[in-house]
Amino acid sequence: MCLLAVIDTVNQLEKQKRSLDENGARFLLAMRMFIFSQKNFPEESRPIELINRDISWAVYSESQDILIDYCNQSYDGKLLWSHARSLGFGYWITNLDSLTFEKYKQMETIARNSFMSKEDKDPVECSLLYLAMRKKNVLLGLWKLAQSHAEHTIMVRFLANDFSEDRWQKAALKNAFVLLGKQRYEYAAAFFLLGDRLKDAVNVCLQHLNDYQLAIVLCRLYQGDNSEVLNDLLTTILNDALMREDRWSCSMIFSLLKQKENSLYSLLMPLESLTLDSKMTASTTKNLDPALLILYNHLRKNFKILRMDDKISVPADVEFRFIYDCASSYEQLGLPSLALQIVEAAPSPAQVLKQMKLSEKGNMNLITSEVLDRTTTTKENDEIDWSTLSYDKKNSVVDWGEPTSQKYDAFDWGAPISNNRGLDDDYDSFRKDFVNNDDLGEQILVLENTESEKIDSEVMEIRFENEVKDEDINTRLQIRHIRLFKWQLTKRIIQ
């Protein structure tokens, strides 16, 4: 059944490939698999909501209107806030027009579905959203329809008042605190909005409902994207994400804060460099999600299109280390061929060393790491030509052009097939040389072409020169491991 869900999703993506971008397609696949798990998995095995990585694809998608339509269709047009929260609506509907019909389209649809969700229509379920949209009169009309509700008479009389007056705002706040005492938190937040206390409503969402997305939506609907309360809220969420070292969340929040440069930096730079919090510990790359490399490449492309590339200043060694950490993560996940492809397309160690020297002189030129788009289809750039046999025809003892009538006695069956050393011999030789050569004080890395190995010219024979600076030792140590890492990937693919 799970495979059928994937096939059906891929089929839909094929039909929408002209109108749906790559990030939208990634979110749609994750969303369909999430909904499938909700309907078919045992209750204890069902995920509560999409993970932040999946939500991030929607945040950076330019096809959000199509994604909203798919989400509505997946719930048969009866999308409730609980569904919207599990799909990350509060984060990824970044265009305010998508939230609105004339002014409030999507949230008004969710509010209406909430009112109709029960057999006995209950206006309490939709009060918070309607008041956030400043549609008190619509809510009053719904209360008039709910004549069987126990609070019908009281609420119709109360909502008929003018809440721009200070008297009725105080009355609304008094009711809000009473509702807090009764643990009717969502309804209490609605009364805080009725009393024009957005910040208190947001605090209820954070402290009692533990719903960051609902708090974001309330701020955007009630005061717009330039709300000071929204900015404070996003800053609070960002600090929490930084402490958890959640790079996906950090990138999303920086994007909502309109800090585009930081949304990219948060993917690969040390997170402690993005905050002023002295309690922030040094970030690690121990559990680095390799999919961050895809998002990084996407953002770099966008900055280049928007001519913002000159504003981005990513140190060459940091970018270099990030790419190889991602490749290593793919290798650990059992995808050595994908890891090898990334390593092949990455900036060479020689480029990194050159960039580091330029940066010391104040002339930093960025290395554009479009590692997923760089092709290696030409034979000159291929490390290993998998379409050919492993021997060298020119140097082979056997003349394969001879007619088949040649006597078998003419062949020396004990001789090696090729004069070239095999892959295992080269690997063992390099590893032995690697282990025995540890004197960094005398040597630095330089790359040299070797025709016999058929490895890309950027990662061939490593030889060393004198005069290494102490501050470059860590970077050069990592570069030194690259060739051995590529050999390991190649051996694993062959095996």
> Does the pLDDT at position 467 exceed 70?
no
Q: What pLDDT does 283 receive?
A: 55
Across residues 306-319, what is the average pLDDT?
Answer: 77
Q: Which residue has the tokens 């070292």?
A: 245
**CA 367, CA 344: separation in Å to the nearest integer?**
15
CA distance 241 to 244: 5
Instruction: Read off the pLDDT of each residue in 362-374 and give the average, rounded to a whole number.
Output: 43
Segment 173-183 mean pLDDT? 95
Distance (Å, rounded) from C-alpha 357 to C-alpha 171? 68
Q: Is pLDDT of 249 > 80?
A: yes
Structure tokens at 411: 């062949």
> Up-side HSE of residue 202: CA atoms within 13 Å toward CB?
25
pLDDT tens figures, 329-361:
888 888 888 888 888 777 665 566 666 665 554
The per-residue pLDDT for 274 is 80
pLDDT of residue 406: 43
Q: Which has the higher per-residue pLDDT, 174 or 277?
A: 174
Average pLDDT over residues 34-51: 86
Instruction: Read off the pLDDT of residues 389-416 as tens digits, 9 standing for 90 and up.
Output: 444 444 444 454 545 444 444 445 454 4
Mean of pLDDT values over 211-222: 93
State yes or no: pLDDT of 309 exceeds 90.
Answer: no
Tell me: pLDDT of 281 over 80.
no
Position 466 scores a pLDDT of 40
Q: What is the pLDDT of residue 77?
A: 87
Question: What is the model's pLDDT at position 40?
Answer: 82
- DSSP annotation string for 179-218: HHHTT-HHHHHHHHHHTT-HHHHHHHHHHTS--HHHHHHH
pLDDT at residue 482 in the model: 63
Distance CA 16, CA 74 (A): 16
Q: Is the pTM of this model over 0.85?
A: no
260 or 233: which leads in pLDDT: 233
Question: Cα 362 to chain center, whole Å?
Answer: 32
Exposure class string for 245-282: b at 16+ Cβ within 10 A, else e? bbbbbbbbbbbbbebbebbbbbbbbebbebeeeeebee
Task: Annotate 42-53 with DSSP letters as a single string.
Answer: -GGG--SS--HH
Res. 388: pLDDT tops 50 = no
Cβ proximity of 367 and 316 under 8 Å: yes
Q: Are 135 and 102 in contact (CB under 8 A)?
A: no
pLDDT band, residue 101 (cuts 50/70/90): very low
